[in-house]
Structure formats: C-alpha cells, structure tokens
Structure 1
Amino acid sequence: MDKAWEMLDCSEVRWAIDTRLQEWAQEYNWTWQAGFNGRSGGYLVLYQGGLNRKNARTARCDLCGRSTWHKADTPCTTDGCIGLLRVLPEPEPKIITWPGRSVDQGEDFSQWYMSDLRKRVRLVCSFDRLCDDVVDIFVGFCRDYEMVETEVLVPTTIKTLQPTTGD
C-alpha cells in the first residue's frame, strides 16, 4: 500500500496514465474525455468536451513552445526567449472540457432511439476498458519498479555585496 501511494507522486507514472487518457480522448475527437476526480484524485470520471477551432492557435515558438495567433513567422514574444514563432501547418484548436456537467443524469432512456442507446453503451464499455487500462498501467509500475529518492544538487547564482577596494 505504501509503495502504491509513493508511486502516485512519480512523474513517469502520471505521464504514462495521462498519455493513455489523451489517446482515448483523441479516439473520440475530444468529445468525450476522462480525468481524475475526488479529494485525492481517486477515481476516473467521464467528461464531455470538444475542440475550440474558432480560437485555434496558429503559431508556436521553436524554442519555448509558446502558442500564439501570429499569421507569419516572427520572433518570440516571451520575455527572454530568443526563439522564433513559426506558423503551424494547421491551426491548433484548444481542448475544452466541461467538468461538473452531468452525463445522462436524470436522462429518460425510454425516449432514446435504439441506435443512440447502442452508441452510449459502446461509449460506457470503452470508458470501462480505459479504467482497466489505467489500473493495469499503475499496477505494472507498482509491480515492476520501486521508488528511489535521489538528491540532486542544482547550481544557482546568487549576488552578494563586497566592499570596494578604494582604488
């Protein structure tokens, strides 16, 4: 149990799980997404969402990765960045999510067409398989790895005052 709790803080574990969640959302063109919810992020939730193409970003800095709406290659506008904002081959829409928006809560399924019900059942089964995938990923990390703490020294520059020599 302790090992599992430690794994939750590991960036590699989060990255692997987030990657799987993004792959699943892409299969649905971001119309359906999954994310963690609860006080400790303890369960997966099905969200509605989509892509905002109206405000799609058109350029990205080749150095810092900042996205903008520039229509031509231009120097990056981020302070201190010497990169170039390059126009993207296709505008990059923003992913939108509606957390808290209920999915089928209070829905009267007797009014649905059979084809729509089948589509919803396929979605729920797909979400269920996604949850199994996430559990498998996490259990795999717990089984195959152990958490090791490593101390990393980071050099930093500080400024101090020294008396002038009077020359």
Structure 2
Amino acid sequence: MIEFAQKIDMRSRKKMTEYLKNHFRYFTANSWNRSTSYACNLKIYKLGLSREIENKLYEMTESQEFFDYLRDLLDEFNEQHNYHWQAGMNGRNGGYLVLYHGFCEPSKYRSHCTHCGQNNFGSVTETGNICGKCKRPTRVDYTVVPVSISVYPGRGTDDGEDFEDWSMSELRERVSLVQELDSLADRLVKQAVSIAENYSVEDEEYYVAKTRKVLVPV
C-alpha cells in the first residue's frame, strides 16, 4: 500500500518549495478550465494493493454505503478548516482527492419539516406548521440557523506559483495544509481497505412506498 504523507524539513525553504512545486495536482473543475490544485491520485489500481483487495474495492464502489463511510473523513477535514479549505473528489470516476477553496454562510432557510425534511424560507410563526411537501403539521423553526457550504467553482490553488516571495511562515502554513491533505488520502485508503476486509457486497431487494389516487365507494 502506498503512502501519500511525507515528512518535510520545515527549516528548509528549498525542501518546502520543492514539496509544493512537485506535488501531484489535478483540475478543480473540468480539464478545459485548466485551473488545478493540490491532489492525490486515489484510483484503485494506483494504490499498491493486492489483487484480491483491488477486486473487492471495485465491487464496493457499486454500493452507496461504501462512499458514505468515506464521506465522514472528508467532512471532518472540511470542518476542521472551517470550510475555507475543502477536500473533495474529482475526475471522471471520482478517483482524485482535490483541495478546494470553499466557504460557508448562513442559510436562508428558517424552518424545516421534522417528518420529510423539507426546508422552508418562512417561519412557522408567519406561515403555520403545515409542510408544503408532505402536508403534515410537522414544520418547526430552526433553533440554530443552518449553514450553506460551497466551493468556489474552478478556482485553482497556487497555479504556476514559484513561492520566491513567500515568507517562511507562509510556506510552512501551506506545506502543513497540503500535508494534511496527504494524510487524509492515507486515512481514506486505510478505511477503504478495512471495509473491503470486513464487509462483502450483497444484493438487497427493497420496496418504495408510493401514493396514488384511487376510487373508493361512498
């Protein structure tokens, strides 16, 4: 199994600059956008795993639960950076972990339905507690205003930067950030391997309840 994280001599401008300049990069949007950022190639066949684990991981990618387990690690990284820096997946099959510029701001939603989860821009005190979607009297006002989390589309990070004018403290801060991305990549791989070793993928039949109009004798 390959490891992405590496130790960098924070006393050396040369070592830090080389690390940033030579780090793998990937597009933050589509290839035509040309903006890139620090990234890690997490394609399964690139991770140095056994053939058995590789095959199981390919099978795991057919289950949404697999990605839900990994999502927690991404959310943790983003929250630790107050969403100003966010890690996300990009690429045709989502095989690249990419560092994004992001932001969060207070949502304009003021209430929500506790039954179906529908959000509403109005307060219950203004429009009542009937949900416009499920029609149940289960709307309540938010006690804590939710936040809206986004990334700046297509914005790159240090594209073409030579770092010559950066101070040592600025370099250390950027290197530490990129090292955190590398460490996140390692944790994602270890988590994926652990799932492959401890779970199997099986088909499950499920039924979705739907509502329809019918004629009833009176």
Q: TM-score, normalised by structure 2?
A: 0.65
Contact 1:64 1:81 in 2 (8 A): no
* Distance in 1 separating the partners of 2:159 and 2:81: 21
Give the CA deviation at 1:149. 1.7
Q: Within 5 A, what are the aligned runs for 1:1-167?
A: 1-53=54-106, 55-73=107-125, 74-152=128-206
Query: Can you list the C-alpha shifts for 1:109-166, whole angstroms capped at 9, x where unaligned?
Result: 11222222111111101111111111111111111111112334567688899xxxxx
State the Cα distance separating 1:75 from its structure 2 match. 2.1
**More strand, by proportion:** 1
Deviating above 6 A after TM superposition, structure 1's stretches of 4 or more consecutive aligned residues are 155-161
Q: d(CA) in 2 for partners of 1:129 and 1:117?
A: 18
Deviation of 1:105 (Å) = 0.9
Of the structure 1 ranges 42-51 and 76-85, higher mean CA displacement relative to structure 2 is found in 76-85
Larger RCO (alpha carbons 8 Å, 6+ apart): 2
Is the CA contact (8 Å cut-off) linking 1:49 and 1:97 kept in structure 2?
A: yes
Unaligned runs of 5+ in 2: 1-53
Residues 65-113 of structure 1, C-alpha deviations (whole Å, 9 max, x = no match): 1223323453244333314332212211210112421111112311222
Amino acid at match of 1:64: C
- What amino acid sits opposite 1:47 in the alignment? Y
Counterpart residue number, 2:51? none
Change in 2 beyond 3 A, CA 1:152/1:77: closer
3-state SS of paired residue (1:52): strand
TM-score normalised by length of structure 1: 0.83
- Looking at structure 1, the residues matched to 214 and 133 of structure 2 have their Cα atoms a distance apart, in angstroms, of 25
Secondary structure at 1:45 match in 2: strand
Distance in 1 of aligned mates of 2:134 and 2:209: 20
Contact 2:129-2:138 at 8 Å conserved across structures: yes
Q: CA deviation at 1:39?
A: 1.0
Which letter does structure 2 place at the counterpart of 1:118? R
The count of aligned residue pairs is 160
Please tell me the root mean square deviation across aligned C-alpha atoms, in Å: 2.4
Q: Secondary structure at the match of 1:110?
A: coil
Q: Report the Cα offset of residue 30 of structure 1.
A: 0.7
CA, structure 1 residues 56+133, in 2 after alignment: closer, same or farther (shift >3 Å)? farther
